[in-house]
Amino acid sequence: MDALKKTVKLSLRGVSRTYGGRAALESVSFDVYEGEFLSILGPSGCGKTTLLRILIGLLPPDGGRILLDGRDITSARPSERNMGIVFQNYALFENMTVLQNVAYALALHTKDKRGAREEARRMLAYMGMEEQIGKKPAELSGGQQQRVAIARTLVLKPEIILFDEPMSALDVDTRIALRRELKKLQRETGITMIYVTHDQEEAFALSDRVMIMENARIVQLDTPEEISLHPANDYVRTFVLDNLRAKVESIRRFVRDGDED
């Protein structure tokens, strides 16, 4: 992370958003570094999804600024931000094949339709989906559909990929496999990733740094190690560390009971 801190990729300064008189984001400021995997962790209603929608350009902030490589993109359209997003529900076209889903995204940005299909094939092969290119989304497992969604985002070569709780609908084995693939993807491509989740274990397993939110504000932003050693307050200690310890203890008890059998 020391090398990452030399280059700020994305900056938010005083970003706020209100719904019906209630603050969804309250003067949020932070930096994201080039090539970093940053997780935004918090319970439902804390503001993390609102923040993601503002970053991608689907929702305007009421106040504050967003800078990408020093350029103000606060009012830029989504197509002008060079960011990609992977949703929880995959958002694939059900009437298109796997190949068509990925090629279609690229074809919107180029007149070279044949080149788009070849690039789509290459990206699907990279995601381990080469043998599924002729199938429709309904014929795929949840993990396979999410791999297609990631390939569709990657093929556009974004500078930043945003993930909106992409694994919450998947079974445990698939989630663990996709975690490994995402970390491998980050290492090999160097793409900056911002990952929204409510799962403490997931955030700590994936991230260079974790941003913990509560009630529309950032409570702590640091490495998993520093958060573990120096929680900012009782909320972090309870919501993050106590939950992680409970999971670890549950696993230990299961293993211990299994050994006794």
Q: How far apart are CA 218 and CA 122, in angstroms?
A: 39
Q: Report the chain's mean pLDDT, rounded to a whole number.
A: 90
| Residue found by looking up tokens 């260079």 in the block | 208
* Residue 177 in tokens: 């496999």
**Is residue 234 situated within a structural domain?**
no
Look at the alpha carbons of 26, 30, 34, 37 in this order and tell me if their dihedral is positive or negative: negative
pLDDT at 170: 87
Q: CB-side exposure of 170: number of CA atoms within 13 Å?
A: 25
Give, for 44, the enclosing helix (H) or strand (E): none
pLDDT of residue 211: 97
Output the CA torsion sign for 217, 226, 191, 173: negative
Percent of the chain with pLDDT over 90: 69
Q: What is the pLDDT of residue 90?
A: 85
pLDDT of residue 258: 54
From CA 225, how far away is CA 223, in angstroms rounded?
Answer: 5
Domain with 116, as residue range(s), is: 92-157
Phi, psi of 192 (to 5 degrees): -75, 130
97 within some domain: yes
H helices present in 27-154, as ranges: 48-56, 98-107, 113-126, 142-154
Closest by CA position to 203, among listed 179, 235, 187, 219:
179
Q: Does residue 222 lie within any of the structural domains? A: no
pLDDT of residue 259: 56
Question: Residue 201 falls within a domain, yes or no?
Answer: no
In this prediction, residue 256 carries a pLDDT of 58
Q: CA-CA distance, 5 to 39, in Å (whole number)? A: 16
Residue 84 tokens, joined: 């990609």
Q: Does any domain span residue 44?
A: no
Digit-coded pLDDT (tens) for 152-201: 999 999 999 999 998 888 888 888 889 998 999 998 999 999 999 998 98
Q: Considering the domain boundaries, does residue 104 fall inside one?
A: yes
Structural domain tally of the chain? 1
The answer as to whether 8 is a domain residue is no
Task: Evaluate whether residue 17 is within a structural domain.
Answer: no
Q: What is the DSSP string of 34-84?
A: TT-EEEEE--TTSSHHHHHHHHHTSS--SEEEEEETTEE-TT--GGGTTEE
pLDDT at 89: 85
Q: What pLDDT is stored for residue 25 in this prediction?
A: 97
Low-confidence ranges of the chain (pLDDT < 50): 1, 3-5
